[in-house]
Amino acid sequence: MKILVTGANGFVGSAVVQDLLQAGHKVIGLVRSAAAAATLTALGAEAAVADLRQRDALREAVSGVDGVIHTAFNHDFSRFMENCEADGAAITLMGEELAGSGRPLVIASAIGVLPKAGIVTEADAPVPAGAPGRNPRALSEEVAQRVAATGVPVSSVRLPLSVHGAGDHAFVPALIGIARQRNLSAYVGAGDNHWPAVHRRDAARLFRLAVEAGAADAQYHAVAEEGVPFRQIAEAIGKGLNVPVGAVAPEEAAAHFTWFEHFAEMNVMASSAETRRVLGWDPTGPALLSDLEEGGYFDA
């Protein structure tokens, strides 16, 4: 297959490109700079330099491929709602271009769009608009479902809070930065909230399996670990930085974690049993705590 990957130079997208190439697929990576394009071509992929907001360029990129994996997303949380709406617009446009062709579209979503109760599964729907606990990122899945209703075979890969591995610049590095700044690796209260996790190579393999054999209007969970206790993550960071580890009271969490408070308190456990059953996905990468100990997170 010839697959278009958006966000092809991102942390997850670059791993998807490499996995697709190793599996024998042809890849076109959508990137925003000539430097990123050169990196792709060095790997053996083609590159299309364009922004997702350039509608004609995006349509052209989609028109010439057998399937699309959409991993691009702007993680500027100061403009989160705006970025979620832009993602929905891009999914709509790609769906219009794929309509009637039978070509698959796989989008990146997030475990965090689901209700925070019990162990969430692939069958759980995002918190609806207007309801407490609504995550604006749920818009991506809702748009994807509308696209699926037009006959486009769309599936969603829900990523956990920690997609870890070499080059990680997301939530775990943010925690490490806060611990460095505060000289304290903290958890809130008892620290018994949980983060699901997956290694980036395993997440990349799941995107490939979804574009190769995924079902229409399906949701898959890129979850290798159902839930790692946050206190254990804080302890691993404290050990790696050689700083104290301790609790902060819930009323002090905002002052300590600032913008990261919401994520530090998030409590989600997620199953991937159905994903493993239907796609034969078998994550083999290191666990989050092992990666924290051996993956170079504290080299800087």
Split at pLDDT 50, 70, 90, the class of 60 is very high
Q: Which residues contact 5 (CB under 8 A, 6 or more apart)?
A: 13, 16, 17, 20, 27, 28, 29, 30, 68, 69, 71
Q: Residue range 249-254: average pLDDT?
A: 97
Nearest one of 185, 165, 187 to 177, comparing CA atoms: 185
pLDDT at 251 over 80: yes
pLDDT tens figures, 174-183: 999 999 999 9
pLDDT of residue 133: 83
- Residues making up the chain, counted from first to last: 300
pLDDT of residue 86: 94
pLDDT tens figures, 201-239: 999 999 999 999 998 999 999 999 999 999 999 999 999
Residue ranges and CATH numbers for the domains of the chain are: 2-161+197-224+270-279 (3.40.50.720), 163-195+227-269+286-294 (no CATH)
User: SS3 of 239, please?
Assistant: helix
Angle at 56 between CA 70 and CA 43, to 5 degrees: 45
pLDDT of residue 300: 61
pLDDT tens figures, 100-118: 999 999 999 999 999 987 8
pLDDT of residue 75: 84
pLDDT tens figures, 122-178: 999 999 988 888 999 999 999 999 999 999 999 999 999 999 999 999 999 999 999
User: SS3 of 152, please?
Assistant: coil
Q: What is the DSSP letter of 242?
A: T
pLDDT of residue 117: 79
The Cα–Cα gap between 67 and 199 comes to 24
